[in-house]
Structure 1
Amino acid sequence: MTRPGRPRCGPLRAALALSLEADRRATLITFVSFGLRPTVPVVILYLVRVVVDAIVSHDQTALWTAVGAATLATGLSMGSITYAIELNVRMIEATAAVVDRRLMRTIGGLPGVAHLDNPEVLDRVEMLRQERVHLSEGGDVFALVVGAVVRALVTGLVLAMVQPLLLFLPLLALPSLLASRRGQRKRSDAVARSATTSRLAGHLYTTGTSLPAGKEIRLFGLGPALRERYRTAAADADATVTRAVWGGLALNCAGGALFAVGYCGALFFVLHDFARGTTSLGDVVLVLGLVTSISTQLGQAVVFAGFLHQVLSASRRLLWLERYAADVARPAPTAPAPGPRLSTGIRFEGVHFQYPDTGTSVLRDIDLELPAGTVVAVVGANGAGKSTLIKLLTGLYEPTRGRITVDGVDLREAPLEAWYARTSGCFQDFSRLEFTVQHSVGAGSVPHADEAARVWEAVKRAAAADLVERLPNGLATELGASFDAGTELSGGQWQRIALARACMRRAPCLLVLDEPTAAIDPLAEDALLSAYVDAARQSAAAAGGITLFASHRLSTARGADLIVVVDSGRIVQLGRHGDLMAQRDSIYRDLYERQARAYA
């Protein structure tokens, strides 16, 4: 598979760019607010020192000046915290929406769908799905880290004013920070190792809680088995991460113990100077407060460093995915877009196809000509390669070897989006778009989705008018459980909606129907496919279009101009129904006769 190159920007910059894109004002205010507020406790401790020394020396001016300054600093900090938190929440929520749109755009922008069959890409996407919440917190975490750094610098400056040797105390926090960084790296690696198992657990959870699977789960008593498999997969993934977390915890404890030794030494050092009279009472109070606060700062710094590592890890995964999408993007087209009408047709020339990172060819040595204006039936046993052939035709897959031409133009060299715009289809694994009926059907031609007359035309062509008329609000009926009062459809009814969606484009150059009536009863299926073949011939006259369908109902293939028989990834027979039935030892004849006997 194509390996991503170096990202164009660093992970921290990329994470901050997400927050700035989402809400620049809220992000900048968060940086300033969260960056400066942590210094307020240090300033107040310094003012307390002034107050103590002023009381000892009976300096009323210094006393009331310090008290007023401390009151003002406390008031400003407390008064602004609610506003700052509200802006921070707004920034995180807006960033989460940007992250989701970015992921949808990146994944949706991968050419074709073959990359989404790649286990490595699926693992990366699964890790991003789990960690995308960290991407939404990039600006927040950066502001917290800036605040911790600023507070550490101010603390060090104040300690140096009392005793320069105390500057070494914050350095003792470095082992804990390094240990935290190492622990977070080990956790990130563990998440990567457990991605496949996590993906399996996610699939089992979705299956065990989804409506479509609910019938079989109850009928076959699959609930306990599914829950046990989910428990095992989730426990395996969790155990991998937990071991890494415990290892990091041990390192953090060692770093914390080292800091504790330095903490006790600093206290002894300051108290010893006070006993000798070289340090004032205010200095003792200040140093005791600062040294105590350093332990709190250390704990916060370790937590913030962990958060930052999670943000950077998630940001690297996003950059990897975006770089991968850029690396596999199709080159700029060098051939013209397919026209609105086919003149000669579509040709397969020596086409092979295998999935990425596999050594098994799904299709081999495919040489096939589909003349313009024809109706083509693709038949064969399950797993023979029919669906793969259809995905290659539509441009959803690219050949591993060989080429596919449309009117003599190699599809690899033509604008893919333009070819998509000249095709339409209903697939075996059709989508159940939970919109209103009008928009679920109208999605087949987005520019015309709001035109009720155009949608009704598609509904009628799909023989779904009776279905829509029986729904509570006709085209305005909301479909699916996503709506409070949504209407749930049967599998066959959803397939009628998908067929209507495929009919939204009136005269496509290519219409593919991959088992388009599998969820419909046989009598209705036969009538519907026959009507489709008749409609396809009318469309062919308008656009020279090719209609290609794969159906388990071989009786429908009788009306096709060309029947393509696929077996074990190869085309083994071509011809019309009568010609194929006349051949001895014909795979098509055997399939047809066995199915005829079964239906009889």
Structure 2
Amino acid sequence: MIATLRALALVCATAFRVSKKETIAAFTETVGQILRGLNPLFFGLFASGVVHHDPTQLIIAVAGLACSTGITGALQVIGVNARIKQQTYVAFEFSRQTSLLMATIETLDHHEDPELQDKLQTFRTWSGSVGQALNAVLNLIHTVAWSGTTVVVALTADWRLLILAALGVPRLLLIARTARWDKIAEEKGSPYRRLTDRLVDLTRDPDAGAEARVFGLRRVMMQRIRDSARAAQQPDLVRNSKHALLDLCNGIFYFGGAIAIIGWMISDAIDGSVSVAVLTIAITSIGSLQQVSSNLVANIKWLGEASRSAVRFVWLRDYAAGVHHRYTGELQPPARLATGLRLEGVSYRYNGAEHDSVHRIDLDLPAGSVVALVGENGAGKSTLVKLLTGMYQPTEGRILVDGVDLAEIDLTAWRERASAAFQDHADLEFAALHAVGLGEVGRVDDEGEVRRALHDGAASDVLTALPDGLATQLGPSWPAGVDLSGGQWQRLAIARGMMRQKPLLLALDEPTSALDAATEHALFDRYAVAARSAGGRGGVTLLVTHRFSTVAAADIVLVLAGGRIVEQGTHDQLMAAGGAYAELYEIQARGYR
């Protein structure tokens, strides 16, 4: 309850901040709802005026109905227009905040942890309801105002109408139970919705489309999409069946009681103990009193759905804040490395994993050195890179930058002094200039720097192949967009990593996996020469690969296996030692002979 109230308070505060006039105008609709609740009273006066030939009652009734209808209609137009604008502003603001939160979370856990992924999927599925939360609050306020007026009018006519109003109470008492049904349905369907979204994305992906056609996977994919979609819908179907049965029972209970009470009042009217006006108010109040409970239930249900979405937004905000509070470093990184980077007993275990991905690593990366990190797939190489770049925080141990714990250094400032090219890089479908230039945001439009980065990343020939040079739109999904091969996209990603000329850490995490071994060897030799020529800055260049033949130019070669450093030294030293490195080197070398 506290979380819900906190979330709704946030929504209301946000709505007032981004749309003050619309928020105030939306409340005028409440006045109209109060006037609408007086309609049964005017109908009763009208009936009494007709029966008793009383023109005064007739005039009051007609004037009351005319004013009520006219004013209610005018205020409704004002209120609805205000709410539509307000909902647009609020939805946009929460979308903006959500995007900002997702983009500024320091770690990658929310992209890789299945439990967090399911929570985020639930949030994404229902995130549109966040913008409707205030609308739901306003509707509930309007409904309460109308319901209160309706009940008061009914009670002033005849006490038995209190019984009629009370027949709707059981439905209200079951709101908490039905809200739990809704929440359970949303959460149970979330993993299957995520699976369905992934499968549907595969049908739109050109690479996956090629495999699907070659292997004849169309029917298999469609069947899996159907199965996952049905599994996602099943909790909703169960929930809807429960709601339908409950509504049927409530309807029978209410209208059964209403028939008995109206029959009782008709009998009294025949006896003359109940006036025509009172009977008219009672009959016209049957539907209104039934709507009191049904409207309250519907609006509370809507508010519950919107508030759950708001609660999930608060959860996302709290999660982002929790991650942020783990990275409280304020120190600036050094202008240049004096001693280098050191790992002391560093371990990292992924959420839910039984074993460490890297385990108790002690390692020195001297300033100005070129370090090659090799090992089989799954050895923990990429994890180590992400630890050094601050994407992960060690579960044990610490990373030192010139003797200062990386946890004490401002993470944003550290990343501004680092650069990287990853195997799983982004294919940025922008103009070629920006696809490379975003590696240094401050120089994104600097053609000279972009051309220099393309040269350093051995990607100048990619630029030559583009019809409009740096102005070429990349990506076939855009008008006049040019598609690139996997190797070309990868070389642009490498060039993007070269935009920063003097990083303290340059991490190249298998950035040439789509290239042949000879080209990779030439590129790594080039990186090593460039790194040594810039050794005065004291930066560390870390080359990660599973191809042993490309790392001979490195100052230090580290062999990683099972999350541990099993060998280290120069290429010649490791070959002479005849250990795991030499053995794996020979095995791979025979493959190219």
- Secondary structure of the corresponding residue to residue 302 of structure 1: helix
Alignment map for 1:66-145 (pairs within 5 Å): 66-145=61-140
What letter matches 1:564 in structure 2? L
Counterpart Cα distance in 1 of 2:270 and 2:558:
99
Q: What does the per-residue CA deviation read over 1:70-115, in whole Å, with 9 as the maximum and x for residues that have no partner?
A: 3333233334545543433332233222222222333333332134
Shift of residue 516, structure 1, vs aligned partner: 0.6
Q: Is the 8 A contact 2:40 2:153 kept in 1?
A: no
- Secondary structure of the corresponding residue to residue 324 of structure 2: coil
Counterpart Cα distance in 2 of 1:225 and 1:361:
36
Counterpart Cα distance in 1 of 2:477 and 2:273:
73
Shift of residue 513, structure 1, vs aligned partner: 0.8
Aligned residue number for residue 544 of structure 1 = 538
Aligned residue number for residue 571 of structure 1 = 565
**Segment drifting more, 521-530 vs 424-433:** 521-530
- Secondary structure of the corresponding residue to residue 345 of structure 2: strand
- Secondary structure of the corresponding residue to residue 38 of structure 1: helix
2:590 to 588, 594, 597: 597
Q: Is the 8 A contact 1:426 1:513 kept in 2?
A: yes
Q: Is the 8 A contact 2:399 2:405 kept in 1?
A: yes
Counterpart Cα distance in 2 of 1:255 and 1:78:
31
Aligned residue number for residue 339 of structure 1 = 334
Matched residue pairs, number?
593
Aligned residue number for residue 54 of structure 1 = 49
Q: 1:9 to 1:105 in 2, by over 3 A?
A: farther
- Secondary structure of the corresponding residue to residue 383 of structure 1: coil
Aligned residue number for residue 300 of structure 1 = 295
Aligned residue number for residue 248 of structure 2 = 253
Q: 1:152 to 1:335 in 2, by over 3 A?
A: closer
- Secondary structure of the corresponding residue to residue 424 of structure 1: strand
Counterpart Cα distance in 2 of 1:79 and 1:168:
34
**Segment drifting more, 108-117 vs 364-373:** 108-117
- Secondary structure of the corresponding residue to residue 360 of structure 2: strand
Aligned residue number for residue 214 of structure 1 = 209
**Segment drifting more, 152-161 vs 282-291:** 282-291
Shift of residue 264, structure 1, vs aligned partner: 1.6
Counterpart Cα distance in 2 of 1:9 and 1:459:
54
Q: Is the 8 A contact 1:144 1:304 kept in 2?
A: yes
1:233 to 207, 211, 228: 228
Counterpart Cα distance in 2 of 1:108 and 1:60:
70
Q: Is the 8 A contact 1:200 1:233 kept in 2?
A: yes
Q: Is the 8 A contact 2:517 2:550 kept in 1?
A: no
**Segment drifting more, 235-244 vs 132-141:** 235-244
Alignment map for 1:309-458 (pairs within 5 Å): 309-331=304-326, 333=328, 336-458=331-453
Shift of residue 9, structure 1, vs aligned partner: 5.7
Counterpart Cα distance in 2 of 1:115 and 1:405:
26
User: How high is the sequence identity, in percent, across the aligned residues?
Assistant: 34
Q: 1:44 to 1:190 in 2, by over 3 A?
A: closer
- Secondary structure of the corresponding residue to residue 560 of structure 2: strand
Q: 1:491 to 1:24 in 2, by over 3 A?
A: farther
Shift of residue 199, structure 1, vs aligned partner: 2.2
**Segment drifting more, 13-22 vs 301-310:** 13-22
Q: Does 1:192 align with 2:173?
A: no
Aligned residue number for residue 477 of structure 1 = 472
- Secondary structure of the corresponding residue to residue 558 of structure 1: coil
Counterpart Cα distance in 2 of 1:126 and 1:209:
20
**Segment drifting more, 289-298 vs 506-515:** 289-298
Aligned residue number for residue 559 of structure 1 = 553
Q: Is the 8 A contact 1:181 1:309 kept in 2?
A: no
TM-score (norm 2): 0.93
Shift of residue 583, structure 1, vs aligned partner: 1.4
Q: 1:60 to 1:408 in 2, by over 3 A?
A: same
Counterpart Cα distance in 2 of 1:7 and 1:339:
43
- Secondary structure of the corresponding residue to residue 439 of structure 2: helix
What letter matches 1:156 in structure 2? V
- Secondary structure of the corresponding residue to residue 582 of structure 1: helix
Aligned residue number for residue 587 of structure 1 = 580
Q: 1:214 to 1:337 in 2, by over 3 A?
A: same
TM-score (norm 1): 0.92
Counterpart Cα distance in 2 of 1:484 and 1:285:
67
Q: What does the per-residue CA deviation read over 1:528-578, in whole Å, with 9 as the maximum and x for residues that have no partner?
A: 33322222223333x211111112343320111111111111111111111
Q: What does the per-residue CA deviation read over 1:383-415, in whole Å, with 9 as the maximum and x for residues that have no partner?
A: 111111111111111111111101001111221
- Secondary structure of the corresponding residue to residue 393 of structure 2: coil
- Secondary structure of the corresponding residue to residue 513 of structure 1: strand
Q: Is the 8 A contact 1:39 1:151 kept in 2?
A: yes
**Segment drifting more, 504-513 vs 193-202:** 193-202
Q: What does the per-residue CA deviation read over 1:476-529, in whole Å, with 9 as the maximum and x for residues that have no partner?
A: 333335634433322222212212221221211001111111123444433333
What letter matches 1:548 in structure 2? L
Shift of residue 334, structure 1, vs aligned partner: 5.5
Counterpart Cα distance in 2 of 1:9 and 1:340:
48
What letter matches 2:582 in structure 1? R
Q: Does 1:460 align with 2:455?
A: yes
2:15 to 15, 19, 32: 19
- Secondary structure of the corresponding residue to residue 359 of structure 1: coil
**Segment drifting more, 212-221 vs 56-65:** 56-65
Report the RMSD for the aligned CA atoms in angstroms. Answer: 2.5
- Secondary structure of the corresponding residue to residue 357 of structure 2: strand
Q: Is the 8 A contact 2:8 2:134 kept in 1?
A: no
Counterpart Cα distance in 2 of 1:173 and 1:138:
25
**Segment drifting more, 479-488 vs 355-364:** 479-488
- Secondary structure of the corresponding residue to residue 13 of structure 1: helix
Q: Is the 8 A contact 1:183 1:251 kept in 2?
A: no
Q: Is the 8 A contact 2:28 2:75 kept in 1?
A: no
Counterpart Cα distance in 1 of 2:327 and 2:210:
48
Counterpart Cα distance in 2 of 1:341 and 1:30:
59
What letter matches 2:556 in structure 1? L
Q: Is the 8 A contact 2:344 2:361 kept in 1?
A: yes
What letter matches 2:511 in structure 1? P
What letter matches 1:547 in structure 2? T
Counterpart Cα distance in 2 of 1:497 and 1:511:
16
Q: Is the 8 A contact 1:15 1:315 kept in 2?
A: yes
Q: What does the per-residue CA deviation read over 1:249-290, in whole Å, with 9 as the maximum and x for residues that have no partner?
A: 333332332222232233224323322334333333232122
Q: Is the 8 A contact 1:387 1:514 kept in 2?
A: yes
What letter matches 1:510 in structure 2? L
